[in-house]
């Protein structure tokens, strides 16, 4: 059977964090995804089937409907075979224990066992409950099962006023993980790789309040980090200032914040030797003021002509140090003709591949939620990427790099 839409099944457990699922369901439905929701008996004490049915644009399922057939087949079989991705949120200690031991005594757990798609687990519970040895044993048992993927739990204030581990992941972290699972079908094909990524712009200061910078938000680099992490890689992200960008969805990504180009230069050189892939998505300054004033310059003291000095070319230096087993990927943000400057940069800086993306076209460039690009590599391959979310483009770029040399 073929389907026109991506299919996401969401199982809601009995916990106060169930309210967060509303945003997940609503967002997916608005994106045109086909969404189905199962509620446990306890979940209905926190959120109604009517609420989730309305947001999903489809009736929600409860245990009362367990033996109601669909197309003449048992409900849990039909739903299990239908789903492409199965999200369990909030995952309670009770449901966690059942999954760990292969038990099925309600519609939700029967559907999990009747399905073969990747399952994304978003646990939520009191800190003391989460830290119980038995709960951690069950959690670790699922974590080693390749079918199960994990998002959270995070740290924070819980409904019981306790501050600690056990807080359910936010929708902003869950939604990208679902998108990744739809792309990868649950494969962790980058497991064992260390991927180093740079992101965002740098700021080259004239005095404490004035700097030379650019509009880069770092969203493309964040998307690359998320995609690589979801595919099993160990990820290090060196990033410039990101005051208006949500960083919580980066989960286990190691983040190294910097401000100036010389700081990014040092961080990239430090971590480059142990990286398998390095993706230079940052918009690093080409020049900086030749001198810096420790105190704010008055308007009258500002020079009519600002002396500048060049900053180190990070990607070119990495290209010179690159070992045979390493892959180095650059970005070329261009206006007008993209290919000629990108090809020149690819060869001159000893890159293995480059993404040439326009900054003068709709749905691309700085501060956009979407992007487009032409991917090129040293073997002469090229691939044009149509406008897509930056996370989708990140996965396409990782696919392209993975196919190099084949």
What pLDDT digit, counting tens, does each position of 80-106 carry?
999 999 999 999 999 999 999 999 999
* Average pLDDT over the chain, rounded to an integer: 91
Q: Assign 40 a pLDDT band (cuts: 50, 70, 90).
A: very high
Q: What is the pLDDT of residue 233?
A: 96
Q: What is the pLDDT of residue 29?
A: 96
pLDDT mean over 58-84: 89
pTM: 0.91
DSSP SS3 for 19: helix
Q: What is the pLDDT of residue 3?
A: 59
Look at residue 319 and tell me whether its pLDDT is greater than 50.
yes
172: left (phi over 0), alpha (psi -120 to 50) or beta: alpha
pLDDT mean over 331-347: 85
Residue 156 pairs with which residues in a beta bridge? 164
Look at residue 144 and tell me whether its pLDDT is greater than 80.
yes
CA-based end-to-end distance of the chain: 32
Q: Pick 198 or 212 by higher pLDDT.
A: 198
Q: What is the pLDDT of residue 204?
A: 92
How much of the chain exceeds pLDDT 70, in percent? 96
Q: What is the pLDDT of residue 246?
A: 62
Q: What is the pLDDT of residue 66?
A: 85
Q: Pick 364 or 404 by higher pLDDT.
A: 404
What is the CB neighbour count within 10 angstroms for residue 245?
A: 16
Q: Where are the beta strands (DSSP E) in 169-253?
A: 194-199, 204-207, 210-212, 234-239
Least confident of 31-35, 220-224, 242-246, 375-379: 242-246
What is the CB neighbour count within 10 angstroms for residue 301?
A: 10
Cβ neighbourhood burial of 67 (10 Å; 0-12, 13-18, 19+):
exposed
Least confident of 155-164, 304-313, 337-346: 155-164
Residue 37: asked if its preceding bond is cis (omega within 30°), the reply is no
Q: What is the pLDDT of residue 1?
A: 47
> Rounded CA gap, 359 and 154, in Å?
36
Q: What is the pLDDT of residue 337?
A: 81
Q: What is the pLDDT of residue 369?
A: 81
Show which residues are catalytic.
Answer: 160
Q: Mind spelling out the 3-state secondary structure of 40-89?
A: CCCHHHCCCHHHHHHHHCCCCECHHHCCCCECCECHHHHHHHHCCEEEEE
Look at residue 345 and tell me whether its pLDDT is greater than 50.
yes
Per the CB < 8 A criterion, the answer to whether 333 and 342 are in contact is no
Least confident of 169-183, 194-208, 328-342: 328-342
Q: What is the pLDDT of residue 405?
A: 66
pLDDT mean over 372-380: 90
Q: Assign 354 a pLDDT band (cuts: 50, 70, 90).
A: very high
Look at residue 370 and tell me whether its pLDDT is greater than 70.
yes
Question: Could you tell me the domains of the chain?
Answer: 7-184 (3.40.50.1950), 194-402 (3.40.50.10300)
Look at residue 247 and tell me whether its pLDDT is greater than 70.
no
Q: What is the pLDDT of residue 238?
A: 96
Look at residue 220 and tell me whether its pLDDT is greater than 80.
yes
């Amino acid at each position: 059977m073929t389907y026109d839409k991506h299919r996401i099944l969401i199982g809601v457990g009995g916990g106060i964090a169930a309210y967060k699922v509303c945003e997940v369901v609503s967002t997916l439905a608005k994106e045109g995804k086909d969404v189905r929701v199962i509620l446990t008996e306890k979940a209905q004490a926190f959120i109604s089937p009517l609420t989730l049915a309305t947001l999903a644009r489809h009736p929600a399922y409860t245990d009362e409907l367990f033996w109601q057939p669909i197309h003449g087949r048992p409900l849990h079989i039909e739903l299990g075979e239908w789903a492409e991705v199965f999200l369990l949120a909030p995952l309670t200690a009770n449901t966690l224990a059942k999954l760990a031991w292969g038990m099925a005594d309600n519609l939700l757990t029967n559907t999990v066992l009747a399905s073969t798609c990747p399952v994304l687990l978003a646990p939520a519970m009191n800190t003391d409950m989460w830290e119980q040895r038995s709960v951690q044993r069950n959690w670790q048992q699922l974590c080693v099962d390749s079918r199960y993927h994990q998002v959270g739990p995070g740290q924070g204030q819980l409904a019981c006023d306790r501050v600690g581990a056990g807080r359910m992941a936010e929708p902003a972290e869950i939604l990208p993980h679902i998108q990744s699972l739809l792309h990868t079908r649950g494969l962790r094909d980058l497991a064992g790789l260390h991927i180093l990524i740079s992101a965002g712009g740098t700021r080259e200061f004239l005095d404490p309040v004035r700097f030379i910078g650019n509009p880069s938000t770092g969203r493309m680099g964040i998307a690359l980090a998320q995609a690589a992490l979801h595919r099993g890689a160990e990820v290090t992200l060196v990033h410039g200032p990101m005051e208006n960008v949500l960083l919580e969805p980066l989960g286990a990504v190691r983040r190294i914040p910097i401000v100036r180009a010389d700081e990014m230069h040092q961080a990239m050189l430090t971590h480059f030797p142990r990286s398998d892939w390095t993706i230079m998505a940052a918009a690093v300054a080409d020049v900086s003021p030749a001198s810096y004033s420790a105190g704010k310059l008055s308007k009258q003291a500002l020079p009519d002509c600002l002396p500048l000095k060049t900053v180190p070319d990070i990607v070119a230096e990495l290209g010179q140090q690159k070992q045979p087993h390493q892959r180095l990927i650059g970005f070329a943000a261009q206006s007008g003709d993209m290919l000629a400057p990108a090809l020149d940069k690819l060869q001159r800086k000893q890159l293995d591949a480059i993404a040439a993306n326009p900054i003068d076209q709709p749905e691309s460039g700085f501060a956009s939620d979407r992007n487009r690009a032409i991917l090129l590599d040293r073997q002469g391959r090229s691939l044009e990427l149509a406008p897509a979310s930056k996370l989708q483009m990140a996965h396409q770029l990782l696919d392209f790099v993975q196919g190099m040399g084949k």
